[in-house]
Amino acid sequence: MILQVDNLAKSFDGFIAVAGVSFQIEKGELCSIIGPNGAGKTTVFNIITGHLSMDKGRVVFNGMDISRLPAHKICRLGLGRSFQRINIFSRLTVFENIQAAVLTHRGKSLSFFTSVQPLFQEETEEILVSVGLQDHRDAVSGPLAYGFQKQLELGIALASNPKMLLLDEPTAGMSRQETKGTIELIGKIVREKGLTLLFTEHDMSVVFSISERIMVLHQGQLIASGPPDEVRTNQDVQKIYIGESRCS
């Protein structure tokens, strides 16, 4: 088991965002958390990665209790993440974005007098290729197309050489075609590197193609967990999704 979440709870000013969520993820598993908007997916992610503090509960990663650790320490333990909205270093080039993460991972971030430019060229290049950004190496990342920025986010997360990846809606805002490509890319990288993957989505169709296990979050609680076919036929899950599409 690589990740264990016990009875996680969090409320914001009386609004209960996460109400006692527990789950476990085995090493090498490809899991997803789905649920309608506002179900608490991002909050769960933010708590696991140390971005938010929890009211109650416990998170154990790779045998270590990380419940109270700050985000940067959790990252160093091998838990990489991406964000729902674009979160990159927009004045830096694509190469520099990834290189910064690589050099941090290699423990070089506190050297003051060596030149940064020639550092970790090969490693950075390798990641650029694996996320398909080698042609945009020297482009400043801020003005890049949305899809490329999403790929770059993935690249930054990979650059810390994580054991496990948490991707928060990696295909948010993408067209069907882009979504398909991105999901294939993620699946390929995760399998090649033998990573454990946990990602969130609100679009069900995306999830079934890649997940080995799907967890369904609704109003801050897990209401189902299992292989895609089982979840698809689960009555509670159908109710939520059909109910939601009627409303919208």
Interacting stretch for another protein, rule CB under 8 A, among 74-82, 188-196, 197-205, 226-234?
74-82
Residue appearing with tokens 């709870």: 9
CB of 96 to another protein, least distance (A): 7
Q: Is 91 among the residues that bind another protein (CB under 8 A)?
A: yes
Q: Report residue 10 as tokens.
A: 């969090």
Q: 3-class DSSP state for residue 171?
A: coil
Residues 188-247 that bind another protein (CB under 8 A): none
Q: Is 56 among the residues that bind another protein (CB under 8 A)?
A: no
Q: Are 6 and 12 in contact (CB under 8 A)?
A: no
Distances (CA, A) of 183 to 55, 118, 209, 213: 33, 32, 8, 15
Interacting stretch for another protein, rule CB under 8 A, among 14-22, 57-65, 112-120, 226-234?
112-120
**How many chain residues interact with another protein (CB under 8 A)?**
40
Q: Is 156 among the residues that bind another protein (CB under 8 A)?
A: yes
Q: Is 160 among the residues that bind another protein (CB under 8 A)?
A: yes
CA 229, CA 214: separation in Å to the nearest integer? 9
Phi and psi of 185, rounded to 5°? -60, -45
- String of contacts with another protein for each residue 118-147, x by CB under 8 A: -x----------------------------
CB of 159 to another protein, least distance (A): 7
Q: Report residue 240 as tokens.
A: 């939520």
Nearest to 99 by CA among 66, 142, 138: 138
User: For the chain, how far is it from start to end, CA to CA, in angstroms?
Assistant: 38
Q: Contact positions toward another protein, by CB under 8 A?
A: 49, 51, 70-73, 75-76, 80-81, 83, 87-92, 96-97, 99-101, 103-105, 108-117, 119, 156-157, 159-160
